[in-house]
Amino acid sequence: MNILKHAAEEVWGLFVDDPIFAAAIIVWVVVIKLLTGVLPHVMAGLALFVGLVVILVGLTYRQAIVISKK
| Binding region for other proteins (CB under 8 A) | 3, 6-7, 10-11, 14-18, 21-22, 25-26, 29, 32-33, 36, 41-42, 44-45, 48-49, 52-53, 55-57, 59-61, 63-65, 67-69
Nearest to 59 by CA among 5, 8, 30, 18: 18
Nearer to other proteins, 1 or 10 (CB): 10
Chain mean position to CA 62: 14
Ramachandran category for residue 59: left, alpha or beta (phi over 0 → left; psi -120 to 50 → alpha): alpha
Q: Shortest distance, CB of residue 25 to other proteins, whole angstroms? A: 5
